[in-house]
Structure 1
Amino acid sequence: MDGYDLVDVEVTHESADGLLDSLSEDARVGDHTQSVQAVRLQAGQPDSELRSLKQLDETSVKLLEHQVDAAYRALFEMGGKALLADEVGLGKTIEVGMILKEMHFRETDDSVLILTPAQLAKQWQAELREKFGLDFVCNYDDEFSGFDDHDYIIASIDTAKSDRHRSTVLKRDWDVLVLDEAHYVKNEDTDRYDLIDRLSYNYAFFLTATPIQNELTDLYNVVSLLRPGLFGTRDVFHQYFVNSDQETLVNRNELQERLNEVMIRNRRADTDIDFTDRTVDTRQFDQSPAERELYQAVSDYVKGAYSQNQGQKLVLMLLQKEVVSSPAALKHTIEKRLHEQSELTHADELETILDLVENIDTITKQERLLDIVEEARDNVEKGRVIVFTQFRATQRQVLERLASEGYTVHSFHGGHSSQEKEQIVEDFEEDGGILISTDAMSEGRNLQFCNMLVNLDLPWNPMRVEQRIGRIHRIGQKRKVYIFNMALKDTVEEYVLERLYHKIDLFQQSIGELSSILSRLEESGTSFEDEIFERLVNAGSEVDLENDFDDMAIDLQEQRELADKLEEFNSGVFDGFDLGASDD
């Protein structure tokens, strides 16, 4: 729990009164500042409405009722300091856009710093410009010349905390701070937390869909950065609000009142948004004899090498994933390994695998991919399809194959500059065709103009699968979404897909639900991918492997039940604290 243990204490009426006094005293510390900020926001402008909304172009942005309400409450009921904690996909960025537009209208935004994960900085910049007419410089722009040279800046939080920029960022008094994905600063022992803790600002808006990920301390740390003193000290918070086993809350009404001062959380179920349907089509294909021989040779090599030297684990795991992605991906890694380590054990086996790669004339997945994209060419607007793969070598091979068939193709990977990535997305939207992407595309980007996605190979971590799907299945998507999963029969890919992903109903869940399942499963320190690999290499037979994956599926179902209980707990925190326990 971020380095702190829950305090095991029975809260009596007498001690509760003392703790409440302590909480109230801490909360009063910032009252005067809050009042000054609120007055400044309202100066010269009545706060009965968001006046800047009249300036917005309705063709650029469609504002939803819950978003307008959130912006209004953040500005005028919370004094310009708010935690926007809507569930995934409800448009928290739009809420911030409205807030910043209104502050610009009221001239209370002399300097604004927006901190985001690196991959989302350019998207924030584009959305604020296109939807709200707000111009920000991004730290990835050529014209960016430092945090003391511009008044409206969007930057990755890791750039801001770097040795090069940290002192400059902290030296300024910022009018407005926006922090995206605020749960990344929940750990007070990190440089990110320390940066936000030391920043000077008048107004602040934090965004997160998961204010509680594992412990109530997550919520305490994030809220205390935004509104210091609201919950008192950490010890007081634990003693006053949490009982020793952390399964029920005490003094829930008081916690609710304090959260209502700073947090806004809209849930999908409570909005009138009609998300489009998601159709999942899983296609499994028989391997050719040459592909089957190659897969068996790689699996045998991986098992043998791992049993002798566990230090090779990451490379061996990579080979097991690449063999079901493409011969090109496998060949690239083996040749690199042979070149870099001339005295490599099992070199003869790797040379044999390379010979088997050369024997493959037809790549089953790529041929079957042609069937899918041909359907799209006839039935989907501009024939747009996004094809995801984990490997650059696979990406290059697929690009060549599709281009040879006359398709318009686009390539997206982590090696592109920020400007190149923006241009690729624009070209894909304008020209249509097939976008072949690595997982560099899988977080944050908005691609609602496309409604068809193919997982050419499947990551072993289900979060990454849902992140891919989330690029097209989100607010703004007006059509049914089609997801195609491709897998080779009798491979680890089939086991992962059929025995794990379908057991937890992966393709119908949200990022938040998956995060809860996986975070609780991985508390032991073993990742989801590690677990799959260990079961794969340690199985003595095909029957053992099937049984092992069935056992893992049962574990997942149990974790899902725990995740459901966590959701009930969160609902208690956010939606009235009705957890069936009386206040002490």
Structure 2
Amino acid sequence: MPVATGNSVTFPASPGIGRVAAIDGGRVRVDFFESAAEPVIGSVWVAANDVRRVPLGEQTRVFFRDRHGRWRAGRIVGGGPDTYFVRVPNLRLDVEIPEDRLRVRWERVPHDPLQVLLSGANETPRFRDAREPVRRLLLAERAATASATGIMSAGVRMHAHQISAALRIIRDPVQRYLLADEVGMGKTIQAGMVMRQVLIDAPGRRIGIIVPDALVAQWQAELRDKFYLDDFPTVDAESPVQVLGHGEPERWSGFDGVDLLVVDEAHLLARTPGPDASPYRELAAVAHAAPRVLMLSATPFSRGAVTHLALLHLLDPQLFRWKDQESFERLLETRHALALAVFGLDEEPDVDNPDLLQLQLDEIREQLPEDETLRSAIQRAMDVYGPPGTPPDTVDEEALRLAVAAVRTHVSETYRLHHRVIRNRRHMVDMQRLDDEGLLTPFEFTGRTRPKVVRLDTDEVQVGAKAMADWVAGCAAAILDDGLDATLYGPVAGLLFSRLGGSVDDLCAVLEHRVSGTTTPGLLSAEEAVHAAAPTLQIEAEVLADLRAVRGADGLDALAAAIAKRSKAPAKAIVFCGRGSLAGDLADRIPVGEGMVKHVHAHLGSQVEAEREQATAAWLADGGVLVVDETGDVGRNFQEADLAFHIRIPGNPNALEQRIGRLDRYGNQRAAQQFVVADDDRDGISTAWLTLLVNGFGIFDASTSAFQEVADKLAGDVWTALLTDGVEALLERSEPIKAALLREKRRINELDALEASFNGQSDGEEMARAIAAYEEDSAGIENAYRKLIEGDEGYRFVGNHKRDGSISFERDYQDKPLLSDRLLARLISVENARTGFFDRWSVTPARRLFRRGNPFIDGLELLLDLDDRGQAVAMWRLDSRWPGDPLAFFGFDFLIEADLEPILTILDGQAQVEPIARRRADAAFPPQHQRVWVPVSTREPVAETRQVGYLNQPFVKGRDVNLNLERIPALHTLVGGEQYLAPIAEECFAVARTHVDRVADVVATSRRAAARVSRETEMLLAQSRARARAAGLVADPAALEAEVAMSRAIQAGVSDPLIRLSGVSCMVASAQSWADYV
């Protein structure tokens, strides 16, 4: 439809609704309205075919000139499209106005609130009082989080090391990282924070996630319940996230075009003989195509250089090339001497032995003779001891520890193999001290308990144990007599053992598969390969016959009774049954009744995912016993368990580690009491293997996840030794296994000396503390927001409380929000984002947190930026105690923030990196608000605190009066006439602006920020020079040069911050009524 002059229109990329001002053939000139002071802020010529007429919906705020030529504001209440009914403040009747006389303000931040006031377009201060507290909260939150909205709006607790890791990634223009924290430290949380930020920065992006098959459901639940990624649908209105398993490489090509690729347990896929082997080949293809990559691995430092190279090649294919494998291996070997020297540096140096510390520091210095920063750091550490002869008891132990930590930090940060590897160690996080204010949430690790043994003396259990012993004896004889390869049968022994316990059904099924090739449900392809490699033994048919004779006898009932006896309400018990049919059968046998088990739930592979979710949710809510098969061994966390029963113990310690890992993540819960069910033979295989797991592998004392490769080999040797040397060989291997694991731990610690993040949590600690301080008054946050969201002078939504304590904000169709449908759409576009909590500690799964980054809160912030209501106000305060004549004060609100332009210049001005620039700038110079009051009498800023507080008081009906169009002449009278108002106001503004330039908070903050960035830049320069001189120790000697350039740009941005007028208030304090001056 053709448009005409005076029509309200939009076009692609239009900055809001404009007005057709002229038509020239196939072109249309569209004008945009800023305010009464700037009725035409800009004009654009557009092709007529691109222009679309827009009907002005109800509640659209419009401006028009009255019969005196003055601009008035109102809102549409009906009519259109040629003529509209407009409701104007303080008029009894609605006014009928043609479309061509109406203007709609463009959708940009108000340019000059002072000019709005001077033009007489100011509105009631009640609009200001509803909006200003939320504006202040949003700015305070932005300052506390440095615009890290993906972190702040996630439904998780704030822990320093997790925040630090996420910050480092989201502040980096090149987001290709390996997250290598030790197990149980929340890598999934860190990845979720990053994923949320990536989507907040540009809604519509896509994320592809590759995880172990057993973890697919857990990742989906975690992202849904804590990170709410579906709040950011793609342009096709689909979920932005897809999770695929490690076992689906044929589907990974569907991730072509994703904006971020996340790979969990990446080391498993990097164990490859070469670049062309599947599934590594398919992974490399999608990883290299993705602009952002985030790999997660608790065990990145493989014993083989190939896996190490394979991981780093995914991050940086140009720097770490497969064809350079030999040089990469030489690089690792060269670094080993430096790693040993750093590893030997005591974290708690001896104040009585300065010579020992000097020796340790000299060993590092020998490896890096040209590093002057290191030389200075070493000297500072030794200076803490004082001159020779200084008594040891006068040495500052804390200062010495920090000085030595500074040496270690410099070396690890400067000479890390790849500077986009982040690795936090448990013992480093354990060392994190509580802050003096008690604001930081401690990251506590739940310990493990050694298991109690529950022995069952029943026919079925004993026959099962005897069958296992008979198979071992028969296999051992065949190895001796027939020369069979014991290494082929050792894995078979481990697999048979993993089906031993309770019912003999699953052990029968495996033996039936070996004897007659019967298909066995639940048998993994890897297990089938183990059986296929080891030919059937003659003894197996006899063992199978013995087992069949007792099938279904008394094993299940005895087991069920033992569990019920120890799992009385209100305890939450989890029963691990491993692979096979035991879990399903056992769940049906556990007795339920008064004074016994209250509820029994099943979590089985035969169920659909929704059924498993439902069972887990019921267990969490109601307690009782949750019986799980192999689906409970990996993936889902069961931290809430009070009791854990291991009915069957895996034959591989890594599988048991995975299972126990479901119980011992972080938290302040008491560690679950663990039980192992065994037969009655204290000298049998079950007891020997359990003893080895406890005393040799130490798996019930601490996590062994970092030692997976070694543990695999050791376990294989154990089962082979059982066949060649008997049960006694298992017990004899405790000390050698313990020693092997200690050697592996040392090897990893040596590598960590260079690769781990030392003292790298300062940013995270600072932000966690700032967030905690901001959130301390959650009730105050809620009250301010709800006044805006629900209040008459706000947006008139209705808040409905839900049963879980959350609140949902909905439209009130009777009392419509003071927003046009066009602007309202920005608030209601994501329905789930409007239901949640203001208190982080109350958040329940899948309910949102009302913080910046939540689409609903971001919509509010955008509307407050665009909404000129309340940004220019004038009021008369009637105060009988006011001394002297009436006096007018002008109050000016200023927003002070770092200048982004130098940073954007470094980043080539790319739109997609602007959020990164904002985060870097806000981190260096937290944005702040300053309000300056200037009386028209003295034209000097008000400094007296009590008077500032008086002027800042909100509008109170009965005391204060809005100086609307009819009452504003009273102000004109005070300043000597309407013609003097503008020059006086502008002079007051100039005074306020000059004052802000000098005010201590701004000047001090700017100087501190510039000095801090300057120090960081100098440190980066020193590190960059050191890396350049140590080309044989690092793979990317020039890696820090871009960071140096960025730091210099940030320094420029904080040295000369931007200062913008965001609001203006005029208040007259008087003992007389305004009416006396009209």
Do both share a fold (TM > 0.5)? yes
Distance 1:100 1:312, change over 3 A: closer
Compare 45-54 and 489-498 and name the one that shifted more: 45-54
SS in 2 for 1:435: strand
Counterpart CA distance in 2 for 1:179 and 1:151 is 18
Please say which of residues 484-493 and 315-324 is displaced more in the overlay: 315-324
> Which runs of structure 2 are paired with 1:473-512 in the superposition (5 Å)?
473-476=664-667, 478-488=669-679, 489-512=682-705
Q: 1:173 to 1:47 in 2, by over 3 A?
A: farther
Distance 2:259 2:744 in 1: 39
The DSSP-based 3-state class of the residue aligned with 1:224 is helix
1:266 aligns with 2:459: no
Counterpart position of 2:448: 278
Aligned residues of 1:241 and 1:255 also touching (Cα < 8 A) = no
Determine whether 1:557 maps to 2:738: yes
Matching residue's letter, 1:182: A
User: What is aligned with 1:450?
Assistant: 641
Q: Distance in 1 between matches of 2:629 and 2:296?
A: 27
Verify the 8 A CA contact 1:115 1:180 in the aligned structure 2: yes
Give the greater-gyration-radius structure (CA). 2
Do the aligned partners of residues 413 and 574 (structure 1) sit closer, same or farther apart at CA in structure 2, a change above 3 Å counting?
Answer: same
Give me the TM-score of the superposition, normalised by structure 2: 0.42
Aligned mates of 1:424, 1:94 — CA distance in 2: 24
Shift of 1:387: 0.6
Alignment of 1:220 with 2:309, yes or no, is: yes
In structure 1, distance between residues paired with 2:616 and 2:450: 24
Q: CA deviation at 1:62?
A: 0.8
Q: Is contact 2:178-2:294 (8 Å) kept?
A: yes
On the 8 A contact 1:280/1:485 being kept in 2, the answer is no
Residue 431 (1) aligns with residue 622 (2): yes
> Are positions 1:85 and 2:271 aligned together?
no
Residue 534 of structure 1, CA deviation: 3.2
Q: Which residue of 2 aligns with 1:113?
A: 208
Q: How does 1:126-205 map to 2 (within 5 A)?
A: 126-135=221-230, 152-158=240-246, 161-162=249-250, 165-169=251-255, 172-186=256-270, 187=272, 188-189=274-275, 190-199=277-286, 200-205=289-294
Distance 1:130 1:178, change over 3 A: same
Q: Judging by fraction of residues, say which structure has more helix.
A: 1
Contact residue 441 and residue 468 of structure 1 kept, 8 A:
yes
Letter in 2 for 1:373: S
CA distance in 1, matches of 2:474, 2:179: 51
Please say which of residues 270-279 and 245-254 is displaced more in the overlay.
245-254
Cα gap change, 1:275 to 1:47, in 2 (>3 Å): closer
Query: Aligned partners of 1:238 and 1:70: how far apart in 2?
Result: 28
* Paired residues of 2:695 and 2:734 also in contact (CA < 8 A): no
Identity fraction in percent: 24
Question: Which shifted more, 86-95 or 328-337?
Answer: 328-337
- CA deviation digits over 1:166-199, x for unaligned, max 9? 5544xx3222211222212323443232223222
Matches within 5 A, 1:12-27: none
Where 2:588 maps in the other structure, the secondary structure is: helix
On the 8 A contact 2:647/2:676 being kept in 1, the answer is yes
Give runs of aligned pairs for residues 377-392 of structure 1, distance below 5 A: 377=569, 382-392=570-580
Cα distance, 1:467 vs structure 2: 1.4
Q: What's 1:295 paired with?
A: 465
Match of 1:238 among 329, 332, 347: 329
- Are residues 213 and 108 of structure 1, via their aligned partners in 2, closer, same or farther at CA, if it must alter by over 3 Å? farther
Summarize the Cα distance change of 1:46–1:109 in structure 2 as closer, same or farther, 3 Å threshold: farther
Partner of 2:663, secondary structure, is coil
Q: CA deviation at 1:391?
A: 4.2
Corresponding residue SS for 1:229: coil
Distance in 2 of aligned mates of 1:108 and 1:261: 29
Q: Which residue of 2 is the match for residue 535 of structure 1?
A: 721
The question of whether the paired residues in 2 share the 8 Å contact of 1:385 and 1:434 is answered with yes
The Cα offsets for residues 509-533 of structure 1, whole Å up to 9 and x where unpaired, read as 21434425415xx1xxxx61x4344
SS in 1 for 2:634: coil
Contact 1:402/1:409 (CA < 8 Å) preserved in 2?
yes
Q: Deviations over 1:521-568 (max 9, x none)?
A: x1xxxx61x4344333444xxxx532x123322331231132122122
CA RMSD of superposed structures (Å): 3.9
Query: Normalised by the size of structure 1, how large is the TM-score?
Result: 0.74
The DSSP-based 3-state class of the residue aligned with 1:483 is strand
- Is 1:66 the counterpart of 2:161? The answer is yes
**1:503/1:557 contact within 8 Å kept:** yes
Q: CA-to-partner distance for each residue in 1:86-117, whole Å, 9 max, x for gaps?
A: 11111111112222222222217622212222
- 1:34 maps to none
2:195 and 2:282 map into 1 onto residues whose CA distance is 22
Residue 329 (structure 1) aligned to one of 488, 494, 506: 506
| Alignment-mate amino acid for residue 695 of structure 2 | H
Quick one: distance in 2 between partners of 1:545 and 1:500?
A: 14
Does the residue aligned with 2:473 lie in a helix, a strand or coil?
helix
Looking at structure 1, the residues matched to 711 and 183 of structure 2 have their Cα atoms a distance apart, in angstroms, of 17
257 and 166 in structure 1: CA distance in 2 versus 1, 3 angstrom threshold = same
Aligned equivalent of 2:608: 417
Question: Which of 162, 185, 189 is matched with 1:94 structurally?
Answer: 189
Instruction: Name the aligned partner's letter for residue 326 of structure 1.
Output: S
SS at match of 2:581: helix
* Distance in 2, Cα, partners of 1:213 & 1:354: 44
Counterparts of 2:204 and 2:634, CA distance in 1: 29
Q: Secondary structure at the match of 1:191?
A: coil
Q: 1:266 and 1:317, CA in 2 relative to 1: closer, same or farther beyond 3 A?
A: closer
Q: Indicate yes or no: 2:214 matched with 1:122.
A: no
Structure 2 match to 1:20: none
CA distance in 1, matches of 2:232, 2:547: 50
Asked if 1 retains the 8 angstrom alpha-carbon contact of 2:696 and 2:734, the reply is yes
Alpha carbons of 1:476 and 1:156: their partners in 2 closer, same or farther (altered >3 Å)?
farther
Change (3 A) 1:289 1:538: farther
CA distance in 2, matches of 1:478, 1:177: 34
Residue 292 and residue 442 in structure 1: after superposition, are their counterparts in 2 closer, same or farther (change >3 A)?
A: closer
The answer on whether the counterparts of 2:603 and 2:628 sit within 8 Å (CA) in structure 1 is yes
Q: Which amino acid aligns with 2:503?
A: S
Contact 2:463–2:547 (8 Å) recurs in 1? no
Query: What is the 5 A alignment of 1:394-405?
Result: 394-403=582-591
Tell me, what secondary structure is at the counterpart of 1:278? coil
Number of residue pairs the alignment of both structures matches? 503
Partners of 1:134 and 1:208 in 2: CA distance: 22
- Residue by residue over 1:259-289, the C-alpha shift from the partner in whole angstroms, topping out at 9 and shown as x without a partner, is 4631111122222422133332322526357
Alignment of 1:440 with 2:621, yes or no, is no
Secondary structure of the structure 1 residue equivalent to 2:575: strand
Q: Flag the 1:571–1:336 CA change in 2: closer, same or farther, 3 A.
A: closer
Query: Partner amino acid for 2:566?
Result: I
Contact 2:455 2:678 in 1 (8 A): yes
**1:443-481: per-residue Cα shift (whole Å, max 9, x none)?**
221222323211122112122222111112112453333
Moved more, 286-295 or 179-188: 286-295
Distance 2:647 2:333 in 1: 46
Match of residue 468 from structure 1:
659
Letter in 2 for 1:510: S
Letter of the structure 2 residue corresponding to residue 62 of structure 1 = R
